[in-house]
Amino acid sequence: MVTAMFKDNDKAIYLQIADRICDDILAGRLADESRLPSVRDYAASVEVNANTVMRSYDYLASIDVLYNKRGIGYFVSPGAGATVARRRRDELFRGRLNDVFADLHLLGIDPDTLKSEYVKYLESAK
């Protein structure tokens, strides 16, 4: 059974789990050096196979977001928030924003209008 946390898209579940952990790091719910739940516990909480969570943890370790203390578990790497933010910014500018910019151009939306709408968004998000 797949829980509601997973989106119906082409992104692998282990990557969606990794994104969720990264979201928790960026939001301050997981601080540097904090211990993550065991693979089994995390798998049970999101209702997936432990191998899927293991793959998520290993992936995050490979990009220096987590590290493993053998026999103890996985921990958030020092500076993980900066690492995640840098990777996400890079992905945003290389990917989704290119599509948005193309739409803005096709619709004739100028930078001043975009800035004004973004300021409105920020004010409403407070």
Per-residue model confidence (pLDDT) at position 96: 85
23 vs 17: CA distance, rounded Å: 10
Q: Could you tell me which CATH class the domain 13-80 is placed in?
A: mainly alpha
Per-residue model confidence (pLDDT) at position 3: 46
37 vs 106: CA distance, rounded Å: 47
36 vs 119: CA distance, rounded Å: 36
The model's pTM: 0.80
Per-residue pLDDT of the chain (126 residues; tens, 9 = 90+): 344 567 767 899 999 999 999 999 999 999 999 999 999 999 999 999 999 999 999 999 999 999 999 999 999 999 999 999 999 999 999 888 988 999 999 999 999 999 999 999 999 988
90 vs 79: CA distance, rounded Å: 17
Per-residue model confidence (pLDDT) at position 8: 65
Residue position matching structure tokens 């928790």: 24
Per-residue model confidence (pLDDT) at position 7: 73
Per-residue model confidence (pLDDT) at position 95: 84
